[in-house]
Structure formats: C-alpha cells, structure tokens
Structure 1
Amino acid sequence: MYQRFVSLSIQFRKNYQHAKLDDITLLALLCWQVELGMTNQRRFYRFLLSLGFKGLPERSRFNRVSVNALETLQWVRFGLVHTVIPNPRYTIVDSFPMPLCHPIRNHRAKRLRSIANIGFNSTKIQWYYGLKGSFEVTNQGIAVAYTITRASIHDVNMVATLVDQYPCRQILADAGYLSRKLKAQLAKEGINFWAPKRRNMHRTGIDDHLLKRDWRQVGSIFSRWVSLFNPEKNRAHSAEGFQTRLEQCLLVDTINQIN
C-alpha cells in the first residue's frame, strides 16, 4: 500500500535512506498501536523497548516522527478509499463530539486551546470543552471524508467541506442538517441531500422509514470508532498530533472493514 499510494516525493525525500526507522515499519507500528489500544505514545515506546525492539530512535525523536507520519497515513487511506472501495449507493453525514476533558473542567482546560472551545452535546444534553468531528461514511460503514472543527461550529457549515473531499449523488443526514439553502446548493451539483423532516413540517407523502433506518446505522459506526479513538484519553498537545492519532484509527478501521 505504501509503494502504491504514497507520493514519490515523500517516499524518496531528502536523506530518506538515513532514517533509523523506515516509513513502512513506522506505519506498521502505528497501526499495531491502535490494535493494542494504547493512546499514550510514551507508554507504547516503553512497550516496544520491553520487547527488545531494536533500531528505534530516541523517545522524543520517535514521537516527532510519529506525528510527522500524518501525511503518509492520509496518502494510504485516501488511496484505499478511491481505488479499493466501490462506489457506494449513498453516504451518511453526521458528527460527534470530541471532549478533551470532563465537563467540570470546561472553563479551566487549556489543551489545544487554539482550535478547541466549548460546545453543546445534544445527545448527552451537556456542554463540553473540545472539538467536533464531522464525518461522511459509506453504506458499508467506511469513513471517506472528515473534518475537525471547534465544538461550537454548526454541523451544516461542514457539509460543503465533506462533499468537496468525497462527492456522492445520495447523502443522508439527521434533522440537525435541515437547511433549504444547503439542499438547493447541493441539488445544483447533482446531489440529493436527504434529512428527516420535523413533526411540525409539511409532509411530502414519501415513506422515509427505510432512509431513517439506513441513517441510524451511523451510531454503531461512531461507537466503533470511539472504542479505537478515545479523545478524552488522547495525550496529544498539538493539532497535528491529535489528527495523526485519528488518522491511525481511521486507517486501521478502513483496512479491517475492507478485509
């Protein structure tokens, strides 16, 4: 996958042959870290040393190299999404909160302050400090596009970004994405954007039960991701480190779903 999908400018970058840890071994280790459920990079490094793993760089250098693998992880995952995964019948758009601390510390938390803020979690009916992840997944349950924003950003504002990453002719969403302007804008691009209407809205006579059933499966997909990627236990202190950890989990999940 590395040789097939990763750009040659990355594979043969300057002094690549002098690296203590080659890219393919690093990718394998990062995927293994996800399978082991280790969110702490320092703990994972000590674990590798305890196994007698040789050829590792110094610990702080290993952490930097892992964070710098973000672009390589993205190349491999994008390659899988666009070449291996068949064209889906529809995609599902939804978001879920990524709290970085317990609610009691909302106004004292400092982690990732440059990109995080306080938002409302409508599922748990509580305010939280952290980020919001907006995702587009296929009917097979594979993530094909995502964006990470502040917790206070409205879900509707992220749809255009997701569609730019992975356009699909049929997109399902929940009632939080109801917007006539958005629906009309996507219709001009040949995209049918469906969201269930509220009880007080005019009914068209179309039976939406099947579409609602398909949309609800996104809940099980998100719970699967949370088991792999627990944002509350993510020790990253930079936006790049946070996203790298997320990319690790998405790549492992994509490979597992394809297999």
Structure 2
Amino acid sequence: MNNLDAIYDFILKELRKLTIKENFYFKPIKPKLSDLELIAINISAEYLSIDSEYQLFRYLSNSKLKGMIERSVFNRRKRKLFLHLENIRKLMVAKFNEMETTFIVDSMPLEICKNARANRSKICKENEFSFPSKGYCASQSSYYYGYKLHAVCSVSGVFQSFDISTASIHYIHFLQDIKHQMNNCTLIGDRGYLSTQVQTNLFNYAANIKLDTPMRNNQKNYQKQKYIFRKSHLRPKRLKSGGVWI
C-alpha cells in the first residue's frame, strides 16, 4: 500500500506535462482534488491492478490522499470525466508510440451469456443499434453471443486504439476506421484479416498503411510470413489475459 503515494506523484507529474488544465468542467464549489488529480488516482489504480473502488479506498485510507474525496463523489466525478480521460489516454499513446512504425491488430470475443439464453437475454437491448448478436470465434472453434473487441497495439505492448462491435461484424470492417486514425505504418494481423482488396485499399488511401498477414498454403505465390512478424503477433494474446489496457 505504501507504493501508492510514489506512483500517484509520478503519474500526476507526467500528466501535467501533457496538459496545462487541472479542471475540465465547472464546479460551483472548488473540490479538494482537481480533475487531473482524480484522473491520476484512477490511472494509479489501473497500474496497481486495483479492480474495485472498495479496494482502492482501502489503499487511499493508508496514503496521503486519505479524506480528500468520498467514494460516491469519486465515482460520480470519474464518470463525468470519461471523455477527458480518453483524450488524455490518446495524448499518452501519441507520446509512447511516437517512433513506432509497426503495430498489431487483433480481436477477441466478449460473450455476455450462453447461446441457450441468447433469445431470452435482455442485456444491452435498450437501443437497437447496440443489440448484441451471434458470432464465430475461430481460435475456440465455437459460436458465441455478445460482442467483439477490436484493438491495435504497438509491438512494445502499448494500445493505440480499440473499439467494440457486435459479434457478427467481420474483423476487416474495423480496418476501415483504422485508416482514419493511423498513417505510414505496418499492421500485423492473422489470417482473419486476409483480404487483397482491404490491403490495397489501406495502401492506396492517404494513410499509407501496409497490412501484413500470413498467406494460406494454397495461395498463389505463397510466401511464409517473416519470423519477427509471426513472433510479434503472439503478444496481444498474452495481454488479453492479464495485461493493462492503457
């Protein structure tokens, strides 16, 4: 628990290098903690793998931040700061990945219930555009009901961008958004992203993105993917199970 103060101070110092703002929205009464300090607490909790507010406030009770904010106020302010937190995340990513030219694209299933309960499930059905759907997971050779998480990360493990779609959406449709966010780089993907049309589209678009995927053995002019690319593509699978999404 004693590490929290040092981690918080370091993260807050780095955040102040990224933005000159301490508060992002009007408050009638000035709080003890600024918005940026609250964001620093949130990132510190992520770094320490603290996955509940109850556990976080046990840590805070033994730190210099004891009594600086109530749990209910922290929760309410954190939700209001979601968009600002995302903007800060993008600034951090831009700094970490400034010199990166090779990225890894992958996806994973987000199952919300078993297939047998899919028709009765009411989860996430408040709005028609966000309805979950049935999809196929090639790595597990099974169908599931829910969503699909798409992500792009650098070979060093820093996530550049991510998105969620319904399970029925194919992997390559995520790349249509990527070309508006990245440029002059190489994307490494598995065979699920194999598409000559998509590869040509990404390269010809102003983004100048090269998509490198392993070829099928029966393809014309078959060439084995470079070892360094095949080795790098294993990294996201480890991050999915235990890594921190930055």
Determine if the TM-score, normalized by the shorter chain, exceeds 0.5.
yes
Match of 1:138 among 135, 149, 154: 154
* Deviations 1:16-72, CA, capped at 9 Å, x for gaps: 86235422332232223324434344x34663576583132352x432322223223
Residues of 2 paired with 1:84 and 1:39: CA distance? 24
Say whether 1:227 aligns with 2:242: yes
The correspondence of residues 6-155 of structure 1 with structure 2, limited to 5 A, is: 6=19, 8=21, 11-15=23-27, 18-41=30-53, 43-44=54-55, 47=58, 51=62, 53-57=66-70, 59=72, 61-101=73-113, 105-113=117-125, 114=127, 115=130, 116-155=132-171
1:175 corresponds to 2:191: yes
One-letter code of the match for 1:47?
Answer: R
Cα displacement (A) at 1:153: 0.9
| 1:159-217 Cα shifts (integer Å, max 9, x gaps) | 0212322223322211111222211211213332222222222125x44242xx52453
How many residues in Structure 1 have an aligned counterpart in Structure 2?
225
Q: Which has the higher contact order (CA 8 A, sep 6+)?
A: 1
CA contact (8 A) 1:135 1:162 kept: no
2:212 aligned partner: 194
TM-score, structure 1 normalization: 0.72
Structure 2: 5+ residue runs without aligned partners?
Answer: 1-13
CA distance in 2, matches of 1:199, 1:148: 31
Report sequence identity in percent. 20
Distance 2:158 2:82 in 1: 19
| Aligned residue identity for 1:73 | L
The answer to whether the 8 A contact 1:145-1:166 is kept is no
Answer yes or no: is the 8 Å Cα contact 1:33–1:44 preserved in 2. Answer: no
Give 1 or 2 for the bigger CA radius of gyration: 2
Change (3 A) 1:119 1:23: same
Determine the C-alpha separation between the residues in 2 that align with 1:23 and 1:67.
11
More helix by share: 1
Structure 1 residues 76-125: Cα deviation after superposition (integer angstroms, max 9, x where no partner): 22112223433223212111122234555444443333433332222112
Q: Is the 8 A contact 1:171 1:191 kept in 2?
A: yes
Look up the equivalent residue of 2:239 and give its one-letter code. Answer: R
Higher mean alpha-carbon deviation, 101-110 vs 180-189, is at 101-110
Structure 1: state its 5+ residue gaps: 229-248, 252-259
Query: Could you say if the C-alpha distance between residues 118 and 40 of structure 1 is closer, same or farther in structure 2, counting changes exceeding 3 Å?
Result: farther
Aligned partner of residue 134 in structure 1, secondary structure: strand
Length-normalised TM-score, structure 2: 0.75
Aligned position for 2:233: 218
The CA distance in 1 between the partners of 2:242 and 2:113, in whole Å, is 17
Q: CA separation in 2, counterparts of 1:173 and 1:163?
A: 15
